[in-house]
Structure 1
Amino acid sequence: MSLFWRIFLLNAAVLTVATALLLLGPVTVSTPVLLTEAAVLGVGLVSMLIANAALLRLSLTPLQRLTRAMTTIDLLRPRPRPAVGGQGEIADLIRTFNTMLDRLEAERATSAARALSAQEAERRRIAQELHDEVGQTLTAVLLEMKRVADHASEPVREELHDVQEATRGSLDEIRRIARRLRPGVLEELGLASALKSLTTEIPSHGGPAVKARLDAELPELDDETELVLYRVAQEGLTNTVRHAAAGHAELTLRRGPGGVELRVRDDGRGLRGAPEGAGIRGMRERALLIGAGLTIGPGPAGGTEVRLDVPVRNRGA
C-alpha cells in the first residue's frame, strides 16, 4: 500500500469513528452550545488529534531515521546501513538509498584506486628522474669541483670546499626525497625494513625520538597491502614531525586477532579539533582500498594515535 493511501485511510478511520460516536452516542449539541457539550466535543477533538498524530508518527519514523543517515553519511567512514523499516514506498526508499550507497562506495573505491595507482606511478617516475638526472649531475659537479680544488690556491680551495659541502648536502636531500617518493627499501627488503628506515629518517635535532616495535612473525601480505601500511605509517610520522610538537613517538606493527595492526603514537599536543587535511583523507582512502579500518584520535597517554587494522584473509580460502 502506498504512503498516500495509508495516511488517507488512517485519517478516514479516525473521522469515521468520530462521526459514528456523534450519530449513535447520547451526545447532542444545543443552540446555544452548553458548556458541558463544548467540553465533550473538545475532549473528542483532542483524542482524534492524539490518535492521528500517533498513527502518523509510527508510519513516518523510518523516514526520520533515513534523514538522519543521509545527513551524517561519509563515504570515507563506512557505517552500518539504515535498517529497512516501514512498509510500501518507505521500505522501497530505504532499500534504494542503501543500494545507492553501495554503488557510490564501489565507484569511489574504483576511482580512488586508479588515482592512487597513477600517483604511485608518478612518484616512481619523479624519483627515478631525481636519482638518474639530478643526482648524477650533482655527483659530476662534486667530482669536477674536487679536481679544480686540487689545482687551486689555498683561499680558493677553502671556498670550493664550502661549495662542495653545500652541494653534497643538496645531493643527500635529493636522495632522501627520492626515497620518500619511491620506497625502494620496501620493494627490495620488505615491509619491516622499510618501516625501520622510516624511523631513522626522522631528524635527530628538532624531531621526536621514534621507537619501532615490529613483530618478527607477521602473516603474508600482498604488495598493495604492504604499500598501504607503509604510506599510512609514513603520513602518520610526517604529521607527528610537522604538527604534533612531540618529544617521543612509537611505531608498532603486530599481528592482530584477524590480521595486522599498525599504530603510530606520539605524546604531542593532539588533534585539538582541527579539521582533517588532505593527508588524513588520503590515509582513509588507502585504508578503504584494502578493506582496512582506520582510527585517528587521542592516544591512551595523550597526543595522537593513528591505528590501522588490516584484515588478512586465508589465501587457501
Structure 2
Amino acid sequence: MTERRAAEQALTERRRLFTHLVQAQELERRRIAWDVHDDSIQAMVAVGMRLQLLADQAGEPYARELSLLDASVREAVSRLRNLTFRLQPPGIDRHGLVESLSQHLNDVVAGSWGLEPTLEHDLEKEPAPETAITIFRIVQEALLNVRKHARARTVRVSVTTDNRGVQVQVADDGTGHAAGAHRLQEHFGLMEMRERAETAGGWWTLRSEPGTGTTVEFWVPDLPTGELDEPLPGPPVQSFDSLTAPQGPS
C-alpha cells in the first residue's frame, strides 16, 4: 500500500508538472503570435507600402526591381500571418479535440493546402485539456510536414481510445523517405513531435518507405489520478527496415 501511494503521488506530481508545462508552452506561443502580429508584420506592411510608392514614382529599370521587392515583402507577410495562425490556441476548451481537428483539416489542409483529408475517430471520452492540446499540436506538426515534404494527395488522421490513453495516426500517400531512420529524426519538426509525446508520458514512431508514404503514430496517456493497476503501454515493436524512428531522446 505504501508503494502504491508513493506511485500515485509520483503520477499526480508528474501530471501536475505536465499541465503547467503545456499551459506555459501555449502562453508562450500566444505571446510570440502577438509580438509577430503587432511588431514584425506591421513593420513589413509599412515597408511594402513604401516600396509601392517608390515604384509608382521611379522610372525604369528601378520600378520593376521595386515591384519585385514589394512582392517578396508581401510573400513574407503572408508567411508570417500563417505562422501566427499556427501559433494561436486551437480552441479545444470550447470545441473539443475532434471538432478542433476537423476544423483544422477542413480550413487549412483542404481549404488552403488543397489536400484531401480524412478524419476517423473513436474516442470513449474527451481527453483532458492538456492531453488534447498535446495531441492537436503533434497532429498539426505532422500535417505541416506532409505539406512541406510528402508531395501527397491525401492524408488520413485516426484518433482512438486505447490502453487508457489516446492513439493517433497521421498517414499520407506521398513519396515517402529514402533516408535512414537516424537521418529522419534529425529534422526539427520530428524531434518536436517526439518530445511532446514523450513529455506527456507516451511514445512516438515514424514509418516511411519510398513510394508508400509516411505514417506518424503516437500514443499519450489520459489517466485519472490513481489508475495504476497495470503499467503503461510502450511503443509497438517494429523492424528497422520499415525506417521506424527508434525510441529515446534525439
- Aligned partners of 1:186 and 1:194 also within 8 Å: no
Instruction: Output the CA distance in 2 between the equivalents of 1:302 and 1:239.
Output: 12
Answering whether residue 72 of structure 2 is matched by residue 166 of structure 1, we say yes
Deviations along 1:164-205, whole A, 9 cap, x unmatched? Answer: 01111111121122122224677898512123345359978x
In the other structure, the counterpart of 1:179 is 85
Quick one: higher RCO (CA 8 Å, sep 6+), 1 or 2? 2
Q: 1:223 to 1:163 in 2, by over 3 A?
A: same
Answering whether residue 205 of structure 2 is matched by residue 296 of structure 1, we say yes
Q: 1:201 to 1:181 in 2, by over 3 A?
A: farther
| Residue 105 (structure 1) shift | 3.0
In the other structure, the counterpart of 2:119 is 214
SS in 2 for 1:154: coil
SS in 1 for 2:62: helix
Instruction: Output the CA distance in 2 between the equivalents of 1:102 and 1:312.
Output: 11
Match of 1:195 among 72, 90, 105: 105
Instruction: Output the CA distance in 1 between the equivalents of 2:16 and 2:181.
Output: 31
The range that moved more, 215-224 or 172-181, is: 215-224
| Residue 285 (structure 1) shift | 2.7
Q: CA RMSD in A?
A: 4.3
In the other structure, the counterpart of 1:235 is 141
Instruction: Give the helix-richer structure, 1 or 2.
Output: 1
The range that moved more, 218-227 or 176-185, is: 218-227
TM-score, normalised on structure 2?
0.61
SS in 1 for 2:61: helix
Q: How many residues align?
A: 207
In the other structure, the counterpart of 1:116 is 22
| Residue 107 (structure 1) shift | 2.1
In the other structure, the counterpart of 1:52 is none
SS in 1 for 2:54: helix
Deviations along 1:23-79, whole A, 9 cap, x unmatched? Answer: xxxxxxxxxxxxxxxxxxxxxxxxxxxxxxxxxxxxxxxxxxxxxxxxxxxxxxxxx
In the other structure, the counterpart of 1:17 is none
Q: 1:308 to 1:251 in 2, by over 3 A?
A: farther
| Residue 220 (structure 1) shift | 6.0
Instruction: Output the CA distance in 1 between the equivalents of 2:54 and 2:94.
Output: 38
Gaps of 5+ in 1: 1-91, 205-209
Q: 1:181 to 1:169 in 2, by over 3 A?
A: same
- Seq. identity, %: 24
Gaps of 5+ in 2: 225-250
Q: Higher Cα Rg: structure 1 or 2?
A: 1
